[in-house]
Structure 1
Amino acid sequence: MAAPNYSLKTNRELLDPNFESYRLSLDAIPTYNVELDAAVEEVTLKDSQYTLEHMRAFGMYNHLHLDPWYQDSVLFVDCKGRLLSFTVTLDSVLGKPREIFRMEADRGRREDRLNASLSFTSATWAALSDGAGRLYLLRTSKRGESTHCKWEPLFSEDLGEPFVVLHSTSHVQAEIHTMEVLLLRILKDAQETKGSGFSVWLEWITVDNTAGPGLEKNYKVTKRRVLRGKSVPHYAAVTPQGDGLMVASEKPFVVTHVDGRPLKQPVTEAVEVEKKPEPFYFWQQTAEDITACVRMPEGVTKESVHFRLTADNISLGVQGVAPLLEGQLYASVDPEASAWVIREDRSLEVTLEKRTVGPMWPELVIGDRRGEHVMSDEQAALILERLNHLTSEDPLANPDKDKPACNSQELEDCDGLPDDTSSLTHFDGESLKPTQVVNLGSHQYLFTVDVNPAEMPCLCLRHDVDALLWQPRPDKPADMWMHVATFNALGYVQASKRDKKFATCSPDFSYAALCECLRHAFIYRQPSPVDGVLFNRKQGRQVGQVAKQQVASLDTSKTFLGFRATNDRLYVLTCTNLFVLKVNNS
């Protein structure tokens, strides 16, 4: 993985250090219920899909799709293979979802089938996966103007193993219409011997109108690129012009194939490591004395050794040779209690007795780097005793008896950090190499949301207790991710929701929303001016703004399958019902 070369720059003007809390509001939320003619299609995980990555990719799938170009419409797929669109014209008079496309009936026979997935490519195109390996590119016309037209498939091809569509985009270059689609698969890797043996595949495919401008539409796959990793990406999207890819994941992704051919991985050049010269002498110490062994030339006798020792200096040499060890000692010694002797291995052993008992010397002769310090058994035992509490089998080991020990069981969920270091990476579309890498560290990923359909989706990350929304800007390499909004304390709040399933926010940042698996949806509004006069009881100061929390309890016992937010409404999907919550009045 490439080393991090970029950091996220927080806009401090969007932070509120004085934010206190959300006030529970009992204001009623108008809620409307639409009963579905047929159940929502929900493909459950198979016994072979047992890993955490399968659960993240397919088990927690959001079955409800919001049209970012026309936010009054949401879409989903039912058990009959129909792609249904539901449009709100008047909240109090809701119609029924209508069919805009029907997939092939035989797709349900495949045992490893996944949930159907949808991505809006442009204002007039959409990418649809049937969950059985087939990709449709559908011409939809302008959806806000022609809400009763059925979508026309101009591209349909079986791409192999089942996949879900993560993102798609459309652009025109040299009068050729091109669509970029990003697919996700989890496949068994025969060469993988560690762990579960599954790998995560991101396939980036390019589909062009090969017939050319003004001719009959003839869309074909012209390029396929495969990236592999070991974790499902939190965020993955293609740049609007198809010249790059952004991926946020716990573990890195590497491009492995281009158009079916394995990509040669760059060979890491061997770095010639400068060999450290062999130590000229070795020395070790105790609290009372020091022992040094100096290498001597072959054939040295006792008579040819020149040894001079004072309280602060030492000089050791051989007749006819420059001094082997000479200089000022780190601390004073007792010359009368010191001695030297020649060993059989042609080394001279010097024993020095410290004048001050206890302190350890960092070096023998000041400025002499030719020696190597060898830790004595006594010194090693002393260090081990001092550090024993860090490696104790007792989780509550406490070297400071007068202070209470920290119990990890008392930590809250939001205090824990992921085991792996997450990263956000931009890949260049031409070289397929990472150009910008951000080490996310403790910035936990929260959710993805489309704010401006003409730009890439935003990703929301936890920064301390807050949730910060980041807008990717691939056209500005020096400032590629811009901080556009802050949801105060949402990072802390969402960590306390043990049953949280989905999270999102409105495109205008007026509120964020979370939902549990059953019944409850939580709305967290941005601070707004207070009607009247309100004082803080503890501080005695007047409060000008209040952030509100609202809780919606839906009349259903079914599990939530979809959750989307617009500026005015919150949509919640179960297998049999679609709930519309009027959050804001325009």
Structure 2
Amino acid sequence: MAGAAHCSLQVKRLLLDPKFEGYKLSLEPLACYQLGLDAAVAEVKLRDDQYTLDHMRAFGMYNYLHLDSWYQDNVYYVDQFGRVMNLSVTLIVFNEELGSPFIIAHSVSFVKSDMHSVAVLLLRVEKDELDTKGSGFHITLEWVTIAEISKEDPLYYWQQTEDDVTVTVHIPQDITKDDIKNPNPEKENPPCNAQELEECDAFLEDSASLCRFDGDTLKVTHVINLGSNQYLFSVVVDPREMPCFCLRHDVDALLWQPHSDQPENMWEHIATFNALGYVQASKQDKKFMACAPDYSYAALCECLRRVFIYRQPTPLSTVLYNRKEGRQVGQVAKQLVTTLEASDPILGFQATSERLFVLTTKTLFLIKVNSGN
């Protein structure tokens, strides 16, 4: 990351509430609807040789329920017959074998030079021969761009004899021989030998950095050391923007919106969920976290049955009196708990401004959290 600018996240003090008193448990009933699935969700099972921490994080905690960011009444999942369910979806748009198993971390559709493209970020867990002290695996991110081409010119031509295969590739006119470097696979010395690392060189498991990659140079331009700011979850607030990410700051959880076109405001603090950082740390069985795109509430679910909802503070119709501190309380933040009528593990979890979608192996639950306008 040489040459990258080291910077920091700028917290908006006006979005913090130093006098937040905690959540009050509310017995307010929430309407919960359930839909039995025609076929079970296509759940990926890990093989015996894949039970590493990296595999569990990437695949074991995978969210099988997907939300349409533009029309948030629409959710999608894949069933055991390989069908994309729930609403009208057109398949067979693109089909390509991309190698080892992966999950799609993010994707974006765009038009550039009158060409429609889809950029997809693939996350894989791959074997690492140099990792002799750890799990033996490492995480890789692969950026794949799928472009709609207006004519079917082949990417390359090839011919074959009994001994040789010759491949001819057309390259852009502005590319020279000096720009092309096909690495020597027989090179003996790797760039780094894990066995030569000292203990102080090890990358701490609980440390993390936030990095910005330039799409043209594929270089890191900005780095933020997150330190104790634990990553909690990601959410699409505005489908025209990049996904937001939520970090723990002290006891709170702060939501950050990346802006790719605003270098002076690259990561904007847009919302705060009071005490959520502290609250989620106490939930040992938590599996997924999410928040409403309008920030009206945050929610988390456990591996089985229970869903916790944390509303933003709202004004009280009648003023309460805090006897301990001798002052009036004008607003309150409510915590609600819903227990699903299901014994199967929770596989998917998505939040909209009005409702929560919770997916188990055989049932899709809809929890009405807020009333629509």
Deviations 1:129-169 (A, max 9, x none): xxxxxxxxxxxxxxxxxxx4x40433211112221111111
Amino acid at match of 1:470: W
Alignment pair present for 1:159 and 2:98:
yes
Letter in 2 for 1:486: T
Match for residue 78 of structure 2?
77
What is the correspondence of 1:227-306 to structure 2 with a 5 Å cutoff?
Answer: 261=182
**Cα separation, 2, equivalents of 1:262 and 1:544:** 67
User: Who is 1:28 aligned against?
Assistant: 29
Change (3 A) 1:420 1:574: closer
Distance of 1:581 and 1:262 partners within structure 2: 54
SS at match of 1:190: coil
Shift of 1:262: 5.0
1:220 Cα offset (Å): 9.5
- Indicate how the Cα distance of structure 1 residues 164 and 492 shifts in structure 2: closer, same or farther if over 3 A, else same: same
Could you tell me which runs of 5 or more consecutive residues in structure 1 were left unpaired when the two chains were aligned. Answer: 87-147, 213-217, 223-257, 269-417
SS where residue 44 of structure 1 aligns? coil
Shift of 1:420: 3.9
Counterpart contact for 2:70–2:239, Cα < 8 Å: yes
Q: Kindly state the Cα deviation for residue 427 of structure 1 after the two structures are TM-superposed.
A: 1.0
How has the CA–CA distance of structure 1 residues 181 and 219 changed in structure 2, closer, same or farther, with 3 Å as cutoff?
Answer: farther
What do the CA deviations read for 1:90-143 (whole angstroms, capped 9, x no partner)?
Answer: xxxxxxxxxxxxxxxxxxxxxxxxxxxxxxxxxxxxxxxxxxxxxxxxxxxxxx
How far apart are 1:219 and its partner, in Å? 11
Equivalent-residue separation in structure 1 for 2:183 and 2:211 (angstroms): 22
In structure 2, the residue matched to 1:464 is 250
Paired residue type of 1:159: L
Distance 1:4 1:444, change over 3 A: farther
Please show how residues 498-577 of structure 1 align to structure 2 within 5 Å. 498-577=284-363
Shift of 1:78: 0.8
Contact (CA 8 Å) 2:67, 2:350: kept in 1 or not?
Answer: yes
What's the TM-score once normalised by structure 1's chain length? 0.54
- Give the aligned length: 331
Q: Which residue of 2 aligns with 1:42?
A: 43
Matches within 5 A, 1:396-407: none
Give secondary structure in 2 for the equivalent of 1:558: coil
Structure 2 CA distance for aligned equivalents of residues 191 and 532 of structure 1: 65
Q: Distance in 1 between matches of 2:180 and 2:77?
A: 32
**Residue aligning to 2:68:** 67
Please list, as runs of the form range in 1=range in 2, the aligned pairs for 1:47-446 lying within 5 A after superposition. Answer: 47-85=48-86, 148=88, 150-211=89-150, 261=182, 419-446=205-232
Give the whole-Å Cα distance in 2 for the aligned partners of 1:495 and 1:219.
55
- Give 1:421 shift: 2.2
For structure 2, the 5+ residue unaligned runs are: 157-178, 185-190, 192-203
Report the Cα distance in structure 1 between the residues aligned to 2:217 and 2:337, rounded to whole angstroms: 49
Q: Distance in 2 between matches of 1:21 and 1:193?
A: 46
Q: CA deviation at 1:201?
A: 1.6
Q: Is this contact kept in 1: 2:5–2:221, CA < 8 A?
A: no
The CA distance in 2 between the partners of 1:261 and 1:546, in whole Å, is 63
Secondary structure of the 2:317 match is: coil
Query: How big is the shift at 1:194?
Result: 3.9
What secondary structure, in the 3-state scheme, does the structure 2 residue paired with 1:493 have? helix
Report the AA paired with residue 430 of structure 1.
D
Report the CA distance shift for 1:220/1:486 in structure 2 as closer, same or farther (over 3 A): farther
Distance 1:578 1:219 in 2: 45
Task: Please state whether the residue corresponding to 1:211 is helix, strand or coil.
Answer: coil
Q: CA deviation at 1:210?
A: 2.1
Residue type of the alignment partner of 1:571: F
Name which one, 1 or 2, has greater alpha-carbon Rg. Answer: 1
Superposed CA offset, 1:212-246 (max 9, x none): 6xxxxx69999xxxxxxxxxxxxxxxxxxxxxxxx
Show the counterpart of 2:170: none
The residue aligned with 1:585 is 371
Counterpart-to-counterpart distance in 2, 1:53 and 1:561: 18
Instruction: Note closer, same or farther for the CA distance 1:197–1:10 as it changes in structure 2 (3 Å cut).
Output: same
Whether the aligned pair in 2 keeps the contact of 1:457 and 1:472 (CA below 8 Å) is yes
Asked if 1:487 is matched to 2:273, the reply is: yes
Q: Distance in 2 between matches of 1:528 and 1:203?
A: 43
